[in-house]
Amino acid sequence: MATTSDAFVYTGPDTLAGRYLRSFWQPIYRSQDLERGRVVAVRIMSEDFTLYRGEGGAAHLIASRCAHRGTRLSTGWVEGDCLRCLYHGWKYDASGQCVEQPGEDGGFAAKVRLASYPTEEYLGLIFACLGEGGAPPLRRYPDFERPFVFEVGTPEIWPCNYFNRMENDPAHVPFVHRESLSRVGKGDQMAPRTVTAEETEYGVRATMRSAGQPARYVHYIMPNMTQTRSQTRVEGSVADAQRLWADRLFWHVPIDDHSNATFIVDLTHLSGMEADAYRKRRRSVEPARVETLNAFGAAVLAGRRALREMPADMSTYKQFWIEDYTSLVGQGSIPDREHERLGRIDAHIILLRSVWLRELKALAAGEPLKEWRIVPGMADMNA
């Protein structure tokens, strides 16, 4: 399989990037959205699956279609830790083994088995490993296990390739977010004077330097994650956005080549009574709704709305959503990378692509891949 210069974009089951991403655990659903006894259809990297939570509380991921005549198992019923097909009632256990077939002779069910995939829950997300050849241990993020205010955001399901999101850069903030920043009195932010990039144990680190300010860092964690410390993108009141900051992890998971789900967790460094008060304020905020926020971004792209028309009482978190949607979906679902004109502020993009292509070439050649590792203190590099 040859590697093209944009091979990281395409993640279907027969692609190199698809094989690579499938060898890592990926978040596929927010834990709180899947109650016991619920079954849903999920699409990941151009493949369909059935996700359900058994009555015992464990999440299970199996193939999309029933082995009998192929209807979607997401329309069936959860029974204990098993799933029964809507059409003729075949029943499967969590390993995908068929255990019951109404009207059939005993012995047939034992010969029928669907694909199933390991799942684990961590940081409020359901993770699955879709690769062949066994799952590695689930990677941990100790910075996010600290006892501050931990939240799992509404997954951002956007009509663009996951790599648009992966390549979002540190230099965009004063421009893309000019409207929301100005509303909290931070509209005078300067673009960084320099952006440098280096390869690390976990991926690529971008370092931004501006006159008279401490350096700031964005971590691009291989293969498809970003870690930031956000000083404004805070859910809550204007006062919260002016005063608080959060460490944030993003997983950019392809749904298919033209859409992705970004899963976000954030940790706001508050404790004691301040933490309790902030949790209460956050609970009183209307949750981010994908349809509403995406529709606003789409209307801006269509020329029917402008960012300055975002509602005055909308939280900075949601305004950032719309602003980032506008710039990243605005690049096209798969940007034309052949004709782009990269400059000095794109140092980390150039490096990230070359690291990705190096790994894909090694994968294609059957050579050893770099083992990425989370290191302590990544969050606290940012002052």
Q: Is the dihedral of CA 159, 161, 166, 168 positive or negative?
A: negative
Nearest distance, CB of residue 73 and ligand FES, angstroms: 7
Instruction: Please identify the residue of the shown chain whose CB is closest to the bound Fe ion.
Output: 324
Structure tokens at 151: 């939240």
> What residues numbered 35-94 form the site for ligand FES, per CB under 6 A?
66, 68-69, 71, 85, 87-90
Q: Is 125 helix (H, G, I), strand (E, B) or coil?
A: strand
Say if CB 219 and CB 250 are below 8 A apart: no
Of 68 and 172, the one with the shorter C-beta distance to ligand FES is 68
CA-CA distances (angstroms) from residue 4 to 254, 338, 344, 360, 369? 19, 11, 24, 10, 18
Nearest distance, CB of residue 86 and ligand FES, angstroms: 7
Of 43 and 68, the one with the shorter C-beta distance to ligand FES is 68
Say if CB 169 and CB 344 are below 8 A apart: no
Residue 309 DSSP code? G
Of 104 and 143, the one with the shorter C-beta distance to ligand FES is 104
Nearest distance, CB of residue 320 and Fe ion, angstroms: 6
For residues 176 to 215, the per-residue mask of contacts with ligand FES, x marking binding by CB under 6 A and - elsewhere, is ----------------------------------------
Of 324 and 346, the one with the shorter C-beta distance to Fe ion is 324
Q: Is the dihedral of CA 131, 137, 138, 144 positive or negative?
A: negative
Of 81 and 100, the one with the shorter C-beta distance to ligand FES is 100
| Cβ atoms within 10 Å, residue 243 | 12
Residue 69 interacts, among ligand FES, Fe ion, none and using kind-specific CB cut-offs from 5 to 8 Å, with ligand FES
Nearest distance, CB of residue 323 and Fe ion, angstroms: 6
Nearest distance, CB of residue 83 and ligand FES, angstroms: 10
Give the Cα separation of 231 and 212 in Å (integer). 17
Residue 324 interacts, among ligand FES, Fe ion, none and using kind-specific CB cut-offs from 5 to 8 Å, with Fe ion
| CA proximity to 123, closest of 138, 106, 105 | 138
The residues with which 52 forms a beta bridge, in sequence order, are 39, 60
By the criterion CB under 6 A, which residues form the site for ligand FES? 66, 68-69, 71, 85, 87-90
